[in-house]
Structure 1
Amino acid sequence: MIRVLLADDQAMVRGALATVLDLEADIEVVSQVGTGDEVVPAAQACSPDVALLDVQMPGKDGLTAAAELHETLPACRIIVCTTFGRPGYLARAMAAGASGFVVKDSPPEQLVDAVRRVHSGLRVVDPALAAESLANGASPLTAREHEVLRAASDGATVADVARRLHLSEGTVRNHLSAAIGKTGARTRAEAIRLAEENGWL
């Protein structure tokens, strides 16, 4: 029996995924959570073989939760399952220790197959997304540029970002300017939008 943990902030989606998986004779959903913060404690409580994690959730996002789960319970295989098939998300998911990456509009049988294949030690990645990820390459942003762009993504001023990250305003401006240049944007808002669309943020 393959024991599965589901993490998705949308109760209806979570319920639908659980129903699809529970129809299989060899798969059992042993835990369902709605935030990234609940993933590791739930996994520690129920010892799943496979964790199916959404990317965008309240609290910790699914990629952060995946990295923490991989560190805490390395035997648990991780599949990132998201509405947002962005190449940057794929690269970040694999770096976080995920063994699979599927998009939610895949047919149910593909999801079931992904759970079985990942459980058996294989990697499973949406082929179209894998091709796009290779074509686009990795994120051009440094860790600090990523941090500054993310801090500015809610419309914060340079002064706000500087305070949040304990940096000087000049340093924040330099990182924002570099991020704007690397994304090919004209403004900070456009750089944030492009980085989000590519899954770099």
Structure 2
Amino acid sequence: MIRVAVVDDQALIRGALAALLGLEPDIEVVATASSGDEIVSVLADETVDVVLMDVEMPGGDGIATCAQIRARFPSTRVLIVTTFGRAGYVRRAFAAGASGFVVKDAPAEELARHVRDVHAGLRVIDPQLASDSLAVGINPLTPREREVLCAVELGGTISDIAARLHVSAGTVRNHVSAAMGKTQARTRADAARVARDNGWL
């Protein structure tokens, strides 16, 4: 039996995925969780072969949690299952150690096949996402530029952002300017939006 855990902050989705996979003769859903923090705690007590996990969740997003799982529980594989099929997320997920990345609207039998493939050591990815990921390219933003754009999303002036990040206003302006150039945006808010849409944040 393939021992599976399902992680999603939406109870309805979590329950539906668990129920669908539970119908498969060779798959047993042994745990569910609503956040990244929760699944890491669960894995300390429960042997799980494959974790199905969303990307955007409270308590640690799916990509950061994937990296934690792979570091602490190397025999457990992670399959990202999300509605957020952004190209940048695909690259970040695989860099974090994910074994697969698929969207939630895949047919049930296809999802079960993906679980089996990941358990067998294969990598799986939605073909359209693979194509989009190649078209978008790698994330051009530095870690500091990403941090500044995340702060931009929270709103406020350059001085507000500088205070929030404990850096000078000039430093924030430099990073914003560089990010705007890389995203070909006309405003800092637009740069943050482009970066978010591409899965770079």
TM range (shorter): over 0.9
1:59 Cα deviation from its structure 2 partner: 2.0
Q: Map 1:51-200; keep pairs closer than 5 Å.
A: 51-200=51-200
CA displacement, residues 74-121 of structure 1 (integer Å, 9 cap, x when unaligned): 110001111011100000000110000000011111110110000000
Number of residue pairs matched by the alignment = 201
Q: Does 1:7 align with 2:10?
A: no
Q: Structure 1, residues 15-48: CA drift from partner, whole Å, max 9, x if none?
A: 0000010001111111111112212111112121
Contact 1:5–1:43 (Cα < 8 Å) also in 2: no
Q: Distance in 1 between matches of 2:164 and 2:72?
A: 29
Aligned residue for 2:52, secondary structure, equals strand
Farther off after superposition, 124-133 or 150-159: 150-159
d(CA) in 2 for partners of 1:25 and 1:71?
Answer: 30
- Please report the RMSD computed on the Cα atoms of aligned residues, expressed in angstroms: 1.0
Partners of 1:169 and 1:37 lie apart in 2 by: 34
Task: Give CA-to-partner distance per residue, 1:163-191, whole Å, 9 cap, x none.
Answer: 33221111111101111111011111111
2:31 is aligned with 1:31: yes
- Give the 3-state SS of the residue equivalent to 1:46 in structure 2: coil
Structure 1 runs not aligned, ≥5 long:
none
Q: What is the distance in 1 between the residues matched to 2:10 and 2:199? A: 20
What is the TM-score with the length of structure 1 in the denominator? 0.97
Matching residue's letter, 1:144: R
Q: Which runs of 5+ in 2 are unaligned?
A: none
Matched, 1:48 2:48: yes
2:44 counterpart SS class = helix
Dislocated runs of 4+, deviation >3 Å? none
Whole-angstrom CA distance in 1 between matches of 2:123 and 2:57: 24
Is contact 1:8–1:53 with CA below 8 Å preserved after alignment?
Answer: yes
- For 1:16, the aligned partner's letter is A
One-letter amino acid of the counterpart of residue 116, structure 2: R
